[in-house]
Chains A and B, each alone.
Chain A
Amino acid sequence: MAERTGPGRVLLVTGVSRDLGRRFARAAACHPNVERVIGVDVAPPRGDIGKVGFVRADIRNPVIAKVIAKEEVDTVVHLSVIATPGNTGGRSTMKELNVIGTMQLLAACQTAPSLRQVVVKSTTQVYGASSRDPAMFTESMEPRRTPSSGYARDVADIESYVRGFARRRPDVAVTVLRCANVLGPRVVSPIASHFRRTVVPNVLGFDPRLQFLHEQDLYGVLEHAVRTGVPGTFNVAGDGVLTHSQVARRLQRMTVPIPEPLFGLARFGGGEYPAELRALLTYGRGVDTSRMRSLLGFEPRYTTEETVVDFAESVMPSANRADRALAALESRLTGASGD
């Protein structure tokens, strides 16, 4: 695969008001092959954006097309697909930002002659999570049940628009990265907040398999995709799976089982549990990443386990009494058997 190292690449990054988008844009701006990075979002970024030029624009309106044309953008990195409404408003605003926003962005891209590449961060949540799922989804598999609402539906719609765009502009390399749940010491997401709770609720009688992608590997794979320009759709996740109970134990968290019907009702002291997270915490999900290695040529630095270990260092243990007691007993025993 020929590397695109031509001087002076111009990147447009959407979703820079959020931490992942902001950090990626800032890092990209420092790259020697990149001439400039334009960050776009409806809200101003919350932290330092370094050399990134920020344009406050709503990707839902046609201003974005002017920005792409005027700045002669050659690469669009679309990171503004959001999983939770957060501070942007309700679910309908979120859907509008996700779906209408992507449509507008792609419409703008379609008429931009300078454009050579589009990278979209999607998620493995497009596969859903159910009892009828195969253990490991490959990129060619469809979700067993088409999601009718929520984030998963948004992502499915977005991916279909992206596929349509790729057909209409065959000269543009389109890369869709279906990333597993991103975790890292600084990550704020529904699942990260879930595991940061002092007492972690779990679905009674279920121990789902989980896969994580380290925050650093997310930046790594985005950078890799922009640099190499390999087109296609790829699952991206750390190696291996951990069960929910293993993650809770690694984080030294106490868990409290909640029956499945109640899990949807309770809000557990302000925690956000959207439908797709509830499904994930019940049935779990695994994705096959062999295409990520063979075709995309990307190797994550962290396995799922190492991601959780790294995340654990940012989390204060809340239930390690049993382990401490056993450790005391063990050192006592090994000390005793020595003499």
Chain B
Amino acid sequence: MTESAAHGFPGTTTRERHPLRAIPATDWAAALESAAKEVFGAEWEEQLARFIVFLRRRISGEYSVDEYGFDRELTQRFLLAVLRPIKEKWFRVEVRGIENIPTDGGALIVSNHSGTIPMDGLMTMVSIHDALGRDLRPLGADLVFRLPIVGNIARKAGATLACSEDAERMLRNGELVGVWPEGFKGIGKPYSERYKLQRFGRGGFVSSALRTGVPIVPLSVVGAEEIYPLVGNVPALAKVLGVPYLPITPFFPLLGPLGLIPLPSKWLIEFGEPIRTDAYDASEADDPMLVFNVTDQVRETIQQTLYRLLGERASVFG
């Protein structure tokens, strides 16, 4: 090893190479190698080799994304790895009813939405992945995909636009799709209205489930309401910026970046019993009465579960 390391440092002088010229790649490699020995210790070679294979694959672009832009490798190795400690240590998420999610085939998870930023969606993704090994494919508003960086991360993490075409395409391909029908009305509602479900849109998600015959799994999330208590809003400025709301919380923008740290509320998330849709005919998806009834049933289930979970939670930060 010492011999090959010695080869990595050829006897160059400033006369042969201008001192400001870039250092050759092999020199970098040799320098990195000795640094790695310091950092990783005895088993550094194997660990580093694995990491480098991964790094080379990323740098050369030899990984694949699916047709929605989902980068499974990046999501599992980075996004979920970052979110997991937040889920376990910060919010101490307690997951119930995971057995209500089918282990394979298409299903639609319908959840309440809160918390100023869609942290509830991210926590649901980690919870489902860790419990079942399945990837939750969230449906997002078009604003998400209009924003730079945010839209990019959303697609890489498996999200796609909340439209019937994409929802049905995913469900037909047997994906586990997540939808938050309250949308911005739910996530940007004031703290005083916490745990009161907003209107569930036009029930488009129910039509999609009916057309594809997949079960609807209601999901109730308790805890996300308290992470950024929204006590004010600047509608005028929000309008100028083209966003649906501009939040003011007790700590933001008062404390600046520090105010962006979410409060460590205690979370309970419960997946309810699946509502089957395969008994209906696909053509009934266009029957507004049926769609309305099923939407109402899902909404009512989530609302009742929220009240029950709130009663079971010892305190907000317990």
Contact = CB atoms under 8 A, between A and B. Distances in A.
A207 B29 CA distance: 30
B56 A133 contact: no
A247 interface: yes
B67 A131 contact: no
B53 A250 contact: no
The 7 A-B residue pairs with the shortest CB-CB distance, nearest first, are: A205-B148, A249-B61, A134-B165, A131-B146, A205-B149, A325-B25, A246-B61
Given A141-B165, A206-B148, A260-B148, A335 B4 contact: yes
A134 B161 contact: yes
Contact of B148 (A135, A204, A325, A328): A204
B231 interface: no
A326 B26 contact: no
Contacts of B60: 249-250, 252, 323
Given A241-B69, A326-B56, A132 B161 contact: yes
30 contacts: A131-B142, A134-B166, A134-B169, A135-B165, A135-B166, A135-B169, A204-B148, A207-B69, A209-B69, A241-B66, A241-B69, A246-B61, A250-B62, A284-B69, A305-B64, A323-B59, A325-B25, A325-B28, A325-B32, A326-B59, A328-B29, A329-B32, A329-B52, A330-B49, A330-B53, A332-B29, A334-B49, A335-B4, A336-B1, A337-B46
B299 interface: no
A286 B66 CA distance: 11
B45 interface: yes
A135 B160 contact: yes
A240 interface: yes
B45 A337 contact: yes
A133 B161 contact: yes
Nearest to A287: B67
Given A333-B45, A336-B45, A241 B65 contact: yes
Given A135-B68, A135-B169, 9 more contacts: A132-B163, A134-B161, A205-B149, A205-B151, A209-B67, A241-B67, A243-B65, A305-B64, A325-B25
A219 B164 CA distance: 35
A332 B152 contact: no
Nearest to B147: A205
Interface residues of A, number: 47
Given A132-B161, A205-B152, A243 B29 contact: no
Interface string B155-176: 1100011010110010000000
B166 A323 contact: no
Interface of B: 1, 4, 8, 25-26, 28-29, 32-33, 45-46, 48-49, 52-53, 55-56, 58-69, 142-143, 145-152, 155-156, 160-161, 163, 165-166, 169
A248 interface: yes
B64 A329 contact: no
B67 A327 contact: no
A69 to B, nearest CB: 45
A298 interface: no
A336 B65 contact: no
Given A131-B146, A326-B55, A336-B1, A247 B33 contact: no
Contacts of B149: 205
Contacts of B155: 207, 209
A335 to B, nearest CB: 7
A332 B32 CA distance: 12
Most central of A131, A136, A138, A240 by chain B CB within 10 Å: A131
A259 B149 CA distance: 11
Interface string A117-135: 0000000000000011111
Contacts of A249: 58-61
A254 to B, nearest CB: 12
A333 B68 CA distance: 36
A32 to B, nearest CB: 39
B169 A136 contact: yes
Contacts of A247: 61
Contacts of A333: 33, 45, 48-49, 52
A242 interface: yes
Contacts of B169: 134-136
A70 interface: no
B145 A283 contact: yes
A134 B69 CA distance: 12
A250 B67 CA distance: 18
A252 to B, nearest CB: 8
Nearest to B168: A134
Given A136-B67, A240-B64, A131 B45 contact: no
Nearest to B68: A135
